[in-house]
Chain A
Amino acid sequence: MISSIAWKNIWRNRVRSGVIISAITIGMFAGVFTVTFYKGWINQRLEAGVETEVSHIQIHHPEFAENFELKNSIPEAAMTTDEIAQMDFVNGVSPRMVVQAMIASSETGTGVKILGVEPEKEKTVTNLYTKIQEGEYFEGVKRNPILIGKKLAAKMKVKLHSKLVVTLQDSQGHLTNEAFRVCGIYSIGNGMFEEMNVFVLKSDLAKVVQLDESTTHELVVHLKDHEKLDQNTKTLAGKHANLLVQNWKQIAPELGLLVDYGNIYIYFFIVIILLSLGFGIVNTMLMAVMERVKEIGMLMAIGMSKFRVFWMLMLETVLLTLTGGFFGILLGVGVTLATMKSGIDLSFYAEGLEDMGYSSLVFPVVEFGMVFVIVILVLVTGLIASIYPSRKALKYKPAEALRIDM
């Protein structure tokens, strides 16, 4: 009985129902989109410093970080690598051989850090391979390929397939030279990094420094879920007490501070958006219910109990909120899915981001837990928002309510 009145009420005044449904729809859309965008945004903010350069966690011999001596390699590296790769929170592990060296072209020479990597494994820990501006990622050069930064290429005045001579101290303490050929030039916007870091095949570097190919100075670990960074760092540090396990926040604290500080602000933005959609829904509900004071007075005058009227109003609200919520989720998820593939381009708003070869795309991420919380939150907001005005309308005496002038 009550439910059929409620159902009819919804259809009786389509404008009012439409307004409430659209208020909830927009609220739900904003909520869902904000959290999916939020997740993507946090990822994008790590893009430059973390995903391209440092990756999530780095493991060294405790003394290596201090003096970069070749002998301070990770003991039983192959086993440790496999062990870590098998942990369920690890996305990828890349063992690197790290050597400080001088590099020279026909024009000039400079000091660099040479990272000997296994390309396939390296691809799982950083996205540097997607930042190749010219050439290929360790392809196209048969013997001793080397990947260098754009800034270094400019400084050394070399092009693709140019020869570079590397001078370094091998594991026996002898100075040796070896020629490498540029197979690719990467561009990531950070000149310092581009100038200081060159990549070669680990097997090639091992021959030059006369070390076994499995020798590893640096283990780079990429996690499946970055949010568990601190927790996972602790787990790894606990398992490998003899090694120095550091996450990117410890390696680059200034970047960590910038990102952490920003994250707190973003969190507050979300609270503000949720507040404003709450107010939007409350106001619309308030308006819609208060409009019906006269009608409610009438129902009470002809003998409908207050409880029943209240029940009827709540039932209407539930139906409207669910409908609006449904459309809102559809819209929010729809927009998210539509932008998930190609990303939302921020370069339009941030001048010069693209000039610097920096990815300004945010790829929204649907995380069901968070979306679920938002959905519940919006639905509850809609319901609570209608309780207050309904109670208020019920407080009128039927005779007064009937006389109210609209």
Chain B
Amino acid sequence: MKLRAGFVTFVVKLPQTETMTTNLKLAWRNLWRNKRRTLITVASIFFGVLLSAYMTSMQEGSYDKMVEIVVKFYSGYMQVHQEEYWENKSINNAFDYDRALVDQVKKHQEIDLVIPRLESFGLASAGELTRGSAIFGIVPEVETQLTGIADKIVSGKYLQPTDDGVVIGDGLAKYLKLNLNDTLVIITQGYHGVSAAGKFPVHGIIKHVSPELNKSVIYMELKTCQAFLGAENKLTSLVVNVADNDAMKRTLKKLKSEIRSPFSVMSWEEMQPEVVQQIESDRAGGIIMKAVLYIVIAFGIFGTIMMMIAERRREFGVMISIGMQKRKLSVILFFETLFIGLLGILSGIAVSLPLLLIQARNPIPLTGDTAKLMEDFGFEPYMFFSTAPEVFWQQAISVFAITMLIGIYPVIASLRIKEIKALHG
């Protein structure tokens, strides 16, 4: 008996795998029996993938761009400070410009720029006029790689590698009634309380996009600035720049664990939480938009699949009447949905991938006031698209999941079919 029982299971098992292949074959053939119907359903999934990939690509592209706008403005992606500096931005919290620290930071491959800065505040005056101002000691050629300030000079020249003069904001120049090569007097407190006062020729005037900075900024060559503030070889911040926000996240983790007291590393997100709010809430709103898109896509697919089942009721009725098991029919129908889903997803990816690659290479140009504003800020006025792999596979998986969820409907519908009714329908 035991042997027999074993035999029986063996016999049963064998046809089971055979049934599987038959089911698959039947499902596949069913698809091509009525090409029009299949193509319409595939098309609804295809458009789902295409549109959601397009939307995601645009969302991610805009997010990256917004971050870039913020980061390029001033802060860079990350900054290293003496740990108390951010809370108390005093020059007394400066640190030594030390090769070892720079090397420690620079050894991470993803970092493409390390920009030293010495920042302080002081009184700028010319003749009778005086105004509070922000003093930036910078390495001219490195600084402009991040902020592009060299391109914003409206008169005179940008700072040279060993420059003893200053470049000042257009608004500050107007207020102090200063012209090129006039002398600017700066009075401030230097490192550890030494009083610093100096005369500097104005070598350039810059139109800074930030109205605040435009009214108050003074750029100085780093060495000149250090000598002036009595802070030989000192920095207040080290801007650490990477290619994009993803790289920032990876690198920040490593840097946070490596950089120890008395130093600390901060991301642009920590330095400018108000901007994070703006961007995050934009992103969150985008999620709601995406949800609406998914609902629309899901119902588009659901409508076609439901229609397909309704259309084929009679066919199912006939099949069940001549001995087809409902269970088997439901399995076949499930495979049909699976195939349709796969075809839709693959064709969707096959089209959206090259389309978005082309779109990313040829971003949509913007016109009007926004475009002008972007140009003033030093950005190309385009709408950008992201072609990160996640854009594609995440959308493919989401739409596929939606399709498979909808695939439950034909299964249930076929199990509940009343053959007599179906035949009459």
Chain A residues within CB distance 8 Å of chain B: 13, 15-16, 19-20, 22-23, 26-27, 30, 33-34, 37, 41, 44-45, 48-49, 66-67, 189-192, 230, 249-262, 264-266, 268-269, 272-273, 275-277, 279-281, 283-284, 286-288, 290-291, 344, 346-353, 356, 358, 360, 362, 405-406
Contacts and interface: CB of A to CB of B under 8 A. Distances in A.
B377 interface: yes
Given A279-B44, A287-B308, A26 B280 contact: no
A268 B55 CA distance: 8
B194 interface: no
B303 interface: yes
Contact of A287 (B175, B299, B307, B314): B307
B303 A264 contact: no
A319 to B, nearest CB: 18
Contact of B281 (A27, A252, A268, A346): A346
A30 B295 contact: yes
Top-6 shortest CB links A-B: A280-B300, A346-B284, A350-B284, A284-B303, A287-B307, A349-B284
Nearest to B210: A254
B310 A16 contact: yes
Interface stretch (B8-16, B153-161, B196-204, B270-278): B270-278
B358 to A, nearest CB: 17
B366 A48 contact: no
Given A22-B303, A346-B287, A362-B285, 13 more contacts: A22-B299, A23-B299, A48-B278, A253-B211, A254-B69, A257-B373, A261-B66, A264-B366, A272-B51, A276-B293, A348-B284, A349-B283, A349-B288
A253 B209 CA distance: 8
A360 B40 CA distance: 40
B363 to A, nearest CB: 12
A258 B285 CA distance: 15
B277 A353 contact: yes
Contacts of A251: 211
24 contacts: A19-B303, A19-B307, A20-B303, A30-B295, A33-B292, A37-B285, A48-B274, A67-B131, A230-B369, A251-B211, A253-B373, A254-B210, A257-B377, A258-B70, A258-B275, A261-B62, A261-B69, A262-B66, A272-B293, A273-B289, A276-B52, A284-B307, A358-B277, A406-B312
A406 B312 CA distance: 7
A287 B40 contact: yes
B311 interface: yes
Contacts of B373: 249, 253, 256-257, 260
B307 to A, nearest CB: 4
A259 B297 CA distance: 28
Interface size class of B (residues with CB under 8 A): 35 or more
Contacts of B288: 37, 41, 344, 346, 349, 362
A254 to B, nearest CB: 6
B280 A276 contact: no
A254 B295 contact: no
B223 interface: no
A251 B214 CA distance: 12
> Main secondary structure on chain B at its contact with chain A?
helix
A276 B43 CA distance: 12
Contacts of B276: 352
Given A264-B370, A276-B297, A406-B34, A19 B306 contact: yes
B281 A45 contact: yes
A360 to B, nearest CB: 6
Nearest to A392: B36
B328 interface: no
B282 interface: yes
Given A258-B69, A273-B289, A276-B296, A283 B43 contact: yes
Contacts of B315: 406
A109 to B, nearest CB: 14
A262 B65 CA distance: 10
Nearest to B287: A349
A269 B296 contact: no
Contacts of A45: 278, 281-282, 285
Contacts of A279: 43-44, 47, 51, 300
Nearest to B311: A291
A290 B41 CA distance: 13
A396 to B, nearest CB: 12
B175 A284 contact: no
Contacts of A250: 211
A276 B300 contact: yes
Given A189-B273, A192-B274, A257 B285 contact: no
A58 to B, nearest CB: 12
Contact of A260 (B48, B287, B292, B369): B369
A284 B51 CA distance: 17
Nearest to A287: B307
Contacts of B40: 283, 286-287, 290
B284 to A, nearest CB: 4
Contacts of A23: 299-300, 303
Nearest to B283: A350
Interface centre among A258, A353, A356 (most CB of B within 10 A): A258
Nearest to A281: B300
A250 B370 CA distance: 12
Interface centre among A277, A281, A344, A405 (most CB of B within 10 A): A277
B132 to A, nearest CB: 8
Contacts of A288: 307
Contacts of B59: 265, 269
B302 to A, nearest CB: 8
Nearest to B44: A283
A230 B295 CA distance: 36
Nearest to B55: A272
A269 B286 contact: yes
Interface string B47-77: 1100110110011001001100110010000
Contact of B66 (A252, A258, A268, A358): A258
Contacts of B377: 253-254, 257
Given A276-B300, A283-B40, A189 B277 contact: yes
B416 interface: no
A287 B37 contact: yes
Nearest to A38: B289
A92 B174 CA distance: 34
Interface centre among B36, B73, B295, B303 (most CB of A within 10 A): B303
Contact of A44 (B274, B281, B304): B281
A269 B283 CA distance: 12
